[in-house]
Amino acid sequence: MGYFELIISCIFVNNILLAQFLGNCPFLGTSKKMETAVGMGMAVIFVLVMAGTITWLVYTFILVKFGLVYLRTIAFIVIIASLVQFVEMFLKKSIPALYAGLGIFLPLITTNCAVMGVCVLNIDKEFTFLQALVASLFYAVGFGLALVLFAGLRERILLARVPRPLQDTSIALITAGMISLAFFAFQGMV
């Protein structure tokens, strides 16, 4: 598989939110406003690239080497959590502007299953290091894209006539389902 196909696959065909259904919690939680959606998208891109590459390195050079692949989940959890903490501290000191921009979303990502999912997928699909790097980046881009699209829709849904039982989260889930169906049109392209 070439890199172009990999990119298309990560953003559209296997979109982490709409095709893999990972990270639905922040998807619903941070998509009420475009501003927060963009913030969350940026934070995910930042963290996912780092987490995807580091977990790949740890897996390949430590877990496989010592025959400890069964410790993958627990190792990845610890690594992602430490990484997010580390990044938070680093940004606070070195790039306060970015830290203020990402704000509350950075620590939220510690518990984002999309990050964990991408790290695991990288391993399951037996990507090379470069492929893992590209995949992590564009899965995150796909996440951001879906989030921003969805936030745009939800801002308009607010102004639409929605029957009372379906308002807010209900209509959001239905809409998410329909976008997801639309994304299924990409299936089989790559």
Q: Contact residues for other proteins (CB under 8 A)?
A: 62-63, 66-68, 70-71, 74-75, 78-79, 82, 85-86, 89-90, 92-94, 103-104, 158-162
Q: How far is the CB of 186 from other proteins (least distance, A)?
A: 32
Nearest approach, Cβ of residue 151 and other proteins (Å): 16
| Least Å from the CB of residue 146 to other proteins | 23
Structural contact between residues 55 and 122, judged by C-beta atoms closer than 8 angstroms: yes
Sheet strands (E) in the chain: none
Instruction: Please identify, using beta-carbon distances, which residue of 124 and 161 lies nearer to other proteins.
Output: 161
Nearer to other proteins, 159 or 188 (CB): 159
Tokens describing residue 44: 């995910």
How many residues would you count in the chain? 190
Contact between residue 16 and residue 143 where contact means Cβ atoms under 8 Å apart: yes
- Choose among 21, 123, 137: nearest CA to 62: 123
Query: Distance from first CA to last CA of the chain, Å, rounded?
Result: 9
Nearer to other proteins, 10 or 116 (CB): 116
Residue 152 or 189 having the CB closest to other proteins: 152
- At its nearest, how many Å lie between other proteins and the CB of residue 6? 30
For residue 139, the Cα-to-chain-centroid distance in whole angstroms is: 6
